[in-house]
Amino acid sequence: MTDEAAQARECNDATVIRGSAQLEAAEAHGRYEVECFGLDGTLKWRELIENVVCTVGKNLMLDTALGGAAYTVTGPYMGLISSTSFTAVAVADTMAAHSGWLEAGGTNAPSYSGNRKTAVFSAAASGAKALSLALSYGITSSGTVKGAFMVFGPGAVATKDDAGGTLWSTGTFTTGDKAVTNGDTLNISYSTSL
């Protein structure tokens, strides 16, 4: 006679997989859209600029939005960047110190009529804010445009080559420098998002 015996065993294993944190990041981004029309009204070129939002601009935006103090915006004003002596735009640039670029329109070519243009924005929607109308620059002398910039806040003025105010953004053309001639018109739109 043989005895048969079966030993019973039971094993359990459990694993819980879940996310350990919820992350949301807000980064400031912007885009300039530029169209160049010749004296006869013909579109000569269209170009995009993905901008650098400068640290000083972010700081002013955060301080005014979250600082709890009353604030009235000065500007913003948009200007052009000349190709003269250009090396780079940088996130650390300020209106008082931007060694890699020079403003176009006043001392540096190309020149345009009037002052820096005043930016008027539509109401924000879906985390974005855009100009209500494109800004128009009537070119009065030939030259090469490298890009554009936006300045605002206390001390900002529309006067070309003025170093006051807080630099919000700078940017250069995606595909390189753009030549303009006397009589051309640049129409520039801008939008920014968080």
Domain positions in the chain are 30-193
Residue whose pair of structure tokens reads 């459990």 in the numeric block: 14
The residues, ordered by sequence, that sit 6+ positions from 48 with a Cβ below 8 Å of its Cβ are 31, 32, 33, 34, 173, 174
What is the reported pLDDT for 48? 94
What is the reported pLDDT for 73? 87
CB 122 within 8 A of CB 108: no
Give the Cα separation of 164 and 166 in Å (integer): 7
Direct distance between the N- and C-terminal alpha carbons of the chain, in angstroms, rounded to an integer: 83
What is the reported pLDDT for 63? 84
What is the reported pLDDT for 186? 98
What is the reported pLDDT for 61? 85
What is the reported pLDDT for 102? 98
At position 133, the amino acid (one-letter code) is L
Q: What string of DSSP letters covers 155-192?
A: T--SSTT---SEEEEEEE-TT--EEE-TT-EEEEEEEE
- 187 burial (CB, 10 Å; 0-12 / 13-18 / 19+) is middle
Q: Which residues does residue 124 pair with via DSSP β-bridges, in sequence order? A: none
What is the reported pLDDT for 71? 76
Q: What string of DSSP letters covers 106-122?
A: TTEEEEBSSSSEEP-BP
For residue 48, give the nearest of 182, 168, 193, 174 by alpha carbon.
174
What is the reported pLDDT for 111? 97
For the entire predicted model, the pTM comes to: 0.84
What is the reported pLDDT for 52? 86
pLDDT under 70 in the chain at which residues? 1-26, 68-69
CA angle 146, 152, 155 (to 5 degrees): 115
Reported in sequence order, the residue ranges of the chain that DSSP labels E, i.e. its strands, are: 29-37, 43-50, 52-53, 77-82, 102-105, 108-111, 117-118, 128-130, 135-138, 143-152, 166-172, 178-180, 185-193
